[in-house]
Amino acid sequence: MNKKKKQDKGIVLKVLTSPYLALILRLYIGGLFIFASMYKINYGAEFAETIASYQLVPYWSVNFLAITMPWLELICGIMLVVGFRARSATVLIAFMLVLFTIAVLINLLRDSPISCGCFSSSDEPISWMTVIRDITWLLMCVHIYYFDRMLHLENRFMAMLKRL
């Protein structure tokens, strides 16, 4: 019994730490961020409103953030998908997710009647589900950070260097 349990534990651990899982997660998060950035880039003004609705950044930086942040998401997403400096991208994405989570958390505590604005300006209002969702994504990023090592664009170049 014990042995079987141990075996099961091993298999679970193996699956949980599998690089394939990390790859899937990486592609998912990357794709997610690319998808999220698309609308925001095209509708900068609306996104600026969303940022403003959170009431966390000074008024003079709102527009600037609205212009740049979607691009940051896009670039990080692309880097994650293709596997170029994926860890750095993961760190940045995780950082953003932390920021978003904190922002949502603050506004939840404030009881602000705002929508998330994660994918478009007409999202449903923020809720604890939004926090849980963001934390799930954050955990995925942690997994990626620690276990991802497959299908990296830069790995080819690295392998070449290593062979030298």
Partner 1 sequence: MVKQNPTIDESSSQSRLEQLERQAYQLRILNEAIRELTLLEDQEEILEKFLLIILGTVGTSRGFAVSMQNYGRTSIFESRGIAASEAQILRECGPQIYGVYFNHLDVLEEVLPKQVRLVTVNEPPQGQDKEVAWPADTRVLVQWTLSSDCYGFVGIGPKITSNDYDTHETDFLLSMTEVLMDCLKMAGSSREVRQLNEDLLQKNMQLNNALSHAQKAQSDLDRQVFHFKALSEMARELSGVFDKKKLLDGFLLMAQGAMSARCGFILLFDVQENRLIISRRGDKAKALDQLDQTRVKQLVLSFYPSPACFSLPDFKVQPLQTSHLAGQALDLPLDMGAVFSLDENYFGLMGFCSKITDEEFSTDEEELLTSLTRNFLLSLENVLSFEIIQKLNLDLGRRNYELSKTIEELRETRDRVNVLQKAGNRISSLIKNELTRLERVNAVDFILIFSLTLVLSLTYNLSSPGGTSPIPKTWTFTSAPEIEADWAALKHQNNAAVFVDARPNEFYSQERIADAVSLPLNLFDFVYLMRFANMDPEKELIVYGRNISRRYDEKVAHELSLRGHKNVRILAGGLNEWKKLNMPVEP
Work out how close the CB of 7 gets to partner 1 at its nearest, in angstroms, rounded to a whole number: 32
Say which residues have a Cβ less than 8 Å from residue 22's Cβ, sequence separation at least 6.
143, 144, 146, 147, 148, 149, 150
Long-range contacts of 94-97, Cβ-Cβ distance < 8 Å, separation of 24 or more: 94/138, 94/141, 94/142, 94/145, 96/69, 96/72, 97/134, 97/137, 97/138, 97/141
Work out how close the CB of 95 gets to partner 1 at its nearest, in angstroms, rounded to a whole number: 9
Work out how close the CB of 79 gets to partner 1 at its nearest, in angstroms, rounded to a whole number: 8
Say which residues have a Cβ less than 8 Å from residue 74's Cβ, sequence separation at least 6.
33, 34, 37, 38, 41
**Which spans of this chain sit near partner 1 (rule: CB under 8 A)?**
41-45, 48, 51-60, 62-64, 66-68, 70-72, 75-76, 79, 85, 87-89, 91-92, 113-114, 154, 158, 161-162, 164
Residue with smaller CB distance to partner 1, 1 or 45: 45
Residue 83: other Cβ atoms inside 10 A:
22
Residue with smaller CB distance to partner 1, 25 or 79: 79
Work out how close the CB of 100 gets to partner 1 at its nearest, in angstroms, rounded to a whole number: 15
Residue with smaller CB distance to partner 1, 25 or 86: 86
Which residue's structure tokens are 């998060």? Answer: 29
Residue with smaller CB distance to partner 1, 25 or 114: 114
Q: Phi and psi for 115 in degrees, rounded to 5?
A: -90, 165
Work out how close the CB of 80 gets to partner 1 at its nearest, in angstroms, rounded to a whole number: 11
Residue with smaller CB distance to partner 1, 13 or 95: 95
Amino acid at 56: L
